[in-house]
Every structure is written in C-alpha cells, then in structure tokens.
Chain A
Amino acid sequence: AQTVTQSQPEMSVQEAETVTLSCTYDTSENNYYLFWYKQPPSRQMILVIRQEAYKQQNATENRFSVNFQKAAKSFSLKISDSQLGDTAMYFCAFMILTGTASKLTFGTGTRLQVTL
C-alpha cells in the first residue's frame, strides 16, 4: 500500500517570502505521478503542480516548483514570492499509473498562512 506523509501540520510565511512544504511517500512502484493540490477556504481542490516519476527535471508552474528526490521518496513544494491568496491547505498526493482509473492517495495536509 502507498502512503503519503506531510510532517508539517501548519506553516506561516510573510508575504513576498519563500516557503517550502515537505512531503514524503512510500511505494514499491516505479511508475507514478505526484501532485500538489491547494484547498483554499472555499474548499475547492485546485491542482497546483504535477510531477511524473520518470522525469528527472523538477516541475515548475510560475511561482510554484518542486524538489523531487526519487531515491529519497521526497517531493517538496516551494512557493516563491508568497501572496495572501496562497493561504490554504496544501495536500500532497500520489497516483500509480494503472492504464485505467487511477486512485489518488493523499497526505494529511499542511495549512499555510501567508501574513503581511
């Protein structure tokens, strides 16, 4: 069974600063995807970034980037130039590629507060 661990229940960062959220996972599979989802107070789950395990290059999406360390099974999210709108719960998620419907396994989340 796959597990996803987010060891930081809460974090705080000042506006315009950089923050890194940690995520580790455990799997014996070799072909999988990793995701970061953002859940603002509206509760909508919003995809932030996705990383394919076969890609060595770290994914980036504007101010969001990941540090993917496959051997260490680590997948951290870096948010640069933090904005007040980044305040949300952030979930790390893991998905094995099966060729059909693939189930996401989520971590317990990190609550990020961006302050002035």
Chain B
Amino acid sequence: NAGVTQTPKFRVLKTGQSMTLLCAQDMNHEYMYWYRQDPGMGLRLIHYSVGEGTTAKGEVPDGYNVSRLKKQNFLLGLESAAPSQTSVYFCASSYWTSGGQETQYFGPGTRLLVL
C-alpha cells in the first residue's frame, strides 16, 4: 500500500492564480481531511469529508473548496490564491476500527508558495 499520497510536492503560484491539490489514499478509508501548517503553529483543519460525495468545513475554510467525487481522492482547490495561503498542506485519512478507535494517517505534505 502506498498509504496517503499528495500531488504536487511543491508549487509556486502568483497571486490570483488557481490550483488544485490532490490527495489519494489506497486504504479504503471513509474519512479524509485537509490541514494547513504555518510556522510556529500546529496543523489546522481546513475541510474534511466523511464519505464519497460529502464535505464539511473545518476551522479555517475560507478561500478553499474541496470535492470528494471518489472515495479514494480528496481534492483541495484554491480559486484565487493569496499570499496568506502560503503554507504546507497535509492530507490525512482515517477509519474506525471495531474497537471504536480512529487513527489519522498523514500524507507527506505539499509546500505552496504564493507570490
């Protein structure tokens, strides 16, 4: 299993440009998440999904949109990038075990620089 993968690893955008970050998981997990990590801060939740075709807002959703058309993929879109969106973006996926335990598995991150 590849686990959680993210594409691209690094990207530079100009202000106002759009882009989509792709997260893919091959563990058949129901739940998927997008976080951002800024210097001196922990990860903050942007959006999440509890299943195919469903999405929900997290702590810092403004300026982002997401889609989950397939169970294994969770896309994060920036329609009009701003310098404040310069960050490292992490995707995670998770599941419930029979014991009711949930563990989130993280991708390697995408570093985004908006000029």
Contact = CB atoms under 8 A, between A and B. Distances in A.
Given A45-B90, A97-B100, A106 B50 contact: no
A44 interface: yes
Contacts of A43: 88, 108-109, 111
By Cβ-Cβ distance, the 7 closest A-B pairs, closest first, are A106-B42, A45-B106, A101-B31, A101-B50, A43-B109, A106-B43, A103-B45
B25 interface: no
Interface in B67-102: 88, 90, 92, 94, 100-102
Size range of the chain B interface in the assembly: 20 to 34
Interface of A: 4, 33, 37, 42-47, 50, 52, 91, 93, 95, 97, 100-109
Contacts, number: 61
Most chain B Cβ neighbours within 10 Å, of A33, A101, A107: A101
A44 B45 contact: no
A107 B43 CA distance: 8
11 contacts: A43-B111, A45-B90, A47-B103, A47-B104, A52-B101, A93-B42, A100-B50, A101-B50, A105-B42, A108-B41, A108-B42
A106 B37 CA distance: 10
A109 B48 contact: no
Contact of A91 (B43, B94, B100, B108): B43
